[in-house]
Amino acid sequence: MYLEQLSLTDFRSYEQVELSLEPGVTVLVGSNGIGKTNLMEAIGYLATLSSHRVSSDAPLLRFGTERAVIRAKLVRGEQSTVLELEINSSRTNRARINRSNPVRARDILGICQTVLFAPEDLALVKGDPSSRRRFLDELLVSLIPRHAATRSDYDRVLKQRNALLKSARAGKFSTGHEATLDVWDQHMARAGAELLHARLELVERLRPHLRNSYAQLTDRSKEAGAIYRSTLQGSVEDDGTAPAAALRGGSGSGSAAGPDAAEDLRLLSVDELTERYVQAFASSRRKELDRGISLVGPHRDELELVLGEAPAKGYASHGETWSMCLSLRLASYYVMLDDARTGGSAPILILDDVFAELDVQRRRKLAAIVSGAEQVLVTAAVEDDIPAELAGRRVKVIPGGIDEREDR
């Protein structure tokens, strides 16, 4: 798919801006702080309903305004779709699809497909497990939008269950509470099992692409892998991280290709996983009542990224960390492309400020890999940072808008 038109009202630094785009490569050039990332962030927000830079919506509204609007015209094959998303400060966000009556923002998930590369991606490797869980869940929802509901069901039950556990910790627990907790356990087991099942399948799909992308970007000296570690396996520490020592137990070709601790879970159905959670909740109940929080569930799982024998986190060099982050994004692009062959759509690639971070070798390799995508949007403050492989349209971003004079 490609984005033909983007229009923003009161989004970030823009009072009003219109951007016309074409398939193929477009490089947006402009000085630091001019608003390039703001444009890319708006497109990413349409795809995921979240920003890659901030966790709340407030900074997305232009200072002093109450409402921002993102409008986009997307073209997929012969079909075009107009999306309009309203981000509100004091009421729920709403959307319109092809100028229909307003729908829930969530209903547009899956329509705009993007893969966004940004400097913030370093957190995928260096950050805490929540960054990697978010990576998985965002990709999952763009591939299978109904999982937005799976996620929010799970989050809702988790919140309620935590509130109950917290009150228990405060000494306000009775037999009645125990029965209520049993009910929450059932709900959380079901929602958790659905989420876990979907994540495990997704990791399976990502894994070969991650390995290949890393090999393509580097000199193939190390193999990149990913291991999903579930709290059901009892191997995740209380702080939500898996012990590094356990990972180094892999043999020969590295733990990435070696035995996977999640192997048995992958063979289980949603019903079987539900049963496992029910059992796990029962056996951790004492501990959970003491701590006042839910200790078992996909909200505490980890996606371990592995380079050769060692975990990427804490071991990888700066350059290796970057290659791993890029490979994860490329892997999600390839998974979406696989889907496109069976009715999905090829995502728009967005590379925001990444070339400045890379050495010449990796710039060229990344450029060569992405240049064939249906649409690639690249931002740069310095045009010379863009490798020749990404020849294409150049758009100049100027204060408050776009310079319409094209320079090819």
Ligand X SMILES: Nc1ncnc2c1ncn2[C@@H]1O[C@H](COP(=O)(O)OP(=O)(O)OP(=O)(O)O)[C@@H](O)[C@H]1O
Q: Which residues bind ligand X (CB under 6 A)?
A: 12-13, 30, 32-38, 59, 61-63, 353, 381
Going through 172-249 in order, the beta strands assigned E by DSSP cover 224-229
Using the contact rule CB under 5 A, the part of the chain among 62-70, 161-169, 347-355, 384-392 near Mg ion is 347-355
Window 12 to 71, contacts with Mg ion (CB under 5 A) = 37
Closest distance to ligand X from the beta carbon of 352 (Å)? 7
Closest distance to Mg ion from the beta carbon of 33 (Å)? 8
Quick one: what does residue 149 bind among Mg ion, ligand X, none, with the CB cut-off 5 to 8 Å set by partner type?
none
Using the contact rule CB under 5 A, the part of the chain among 20-28, 44-52, 80-88, 349-357 near Mg ion is 349-357
Closest distance to Mg ion from the beta carbon of 85 (Å)? 21
Tokens of 60: 């997305």
Tokens of 341: 């062959």
Quick one: what does residue 308 bind among Mg ion, ligand X, none, with the CB cut-off 5 to 8 Å set by partner type?
none
Per CB under 5 A, does 213 bind Mg ion? no
Which is nearer to ligand X, 36 or 207 (by Cβ)?
Answer: 36
- Cβ-contact 49, 109 below 8 angstroms: yes
Burial of 282 (0-12, 13-18, 19+ CB in 10 A): exposed
- Cβ-contact 60, 68 below 8 angstroms: yes
Closest distance to ligand X from the beta carbon of 169 (Å)? 39
- Cβ-contact 210, 225 below 8 angstroms: yes
Window 96 to 135, contacts with Mg ion (CB under 5 A) = none
Which is nearer to ligand X, 242 or 378 (by Cβ)?
Answer: 378
Coil, strand, or helix at residue 94?
strand
Which is nearer to ligand X, 304 or 352 (by Cβ)?
Answer: 352
Closest distance to ligand X from the beta carbon of 122 (Å)? 15
Nearest one of 225, 226, 228 to 199, comparing CA atoms:
228
The helix (run of H) or strand (run of E) holding residue 341 is none
> H helices of 9-128, where?
36-48, 122-126
Please state, in angstroms and rounded to a whole number, the distance separating the CA atoms of residues 174 and 196. 31
Closest distance to ligand X from the beta carbon of 112 (Å)? 19
Which is nearer to ligand X, 60 or 202 (by Cβ)?
Answer: 60
Determine the residue with CB nearest ligand X: 37
Which is nearer to Mg ion, 227 or 350 (by Cβ)?
Answer: 350
Residues 6+ apart with CB under 8 A from 288: 165, 281, 294, 295, 296
C-alpha distance across the termini of the chain, in Å? 23
Quick one: what does residue 246 bind among Mg ion, ligand X, none, with the CB cut-off 5 to 8 Å set by partner type?
none
Quick one: what does residue 59 bind among ligand X, Mg ion, none, with the CB cut-off 5 to 8 Å set by partner type?
ligand X
Quick one: what does residue 313 bind among ligand X, Mg ion, none, with the CB cut-off 5 to 8 Å set by partner type?
none
Answer left, alpha or beta for residue 101, where phi above 0 means left and psi between -120 and 50 means alpha: beta
Which is nearer to Mg ion, 123 or 337 (by Cβ)?
Answer: 123
Which is nearer to ligand X, 15 or 338 (by Cβ)?
Answer: 15
Nearest one of 190, 268, 261, 252 to 231, comparing CA atoms:
261
Between strands 103-104 and 14-20, the pairing is unpaired
Determine the residue with CB nearest Mg ion: 37
Which is nearer to Mg ion, 30 or 254 (by Cβ)?
Answer: 30
Per CB under 5 A, does 153 bind Mg ion? no
Tokens of 172: 């306000």
Residues 6+ apart with CB under 8 A from 59: 12, 51, 53
Closest distance to ligand X from the beta carbon of 373 (Å)? 21
Nearest one of 345, 328, 323, 327 to 336, comparing CA atoms:
345
Which is nearer to Mg ion, 35 or 254 (by Cβ)?
Answer: 35
Per CB under 5 A, does 353 bind Mg ion? yes
- Cβ-contact 346, 340 below 8 angstroms: yes
Closest distance to Mg ion from the beta carbon of 36 (Å)? 5
Report the interface residues with Mg ion, using CB under 5 A: 37, 353
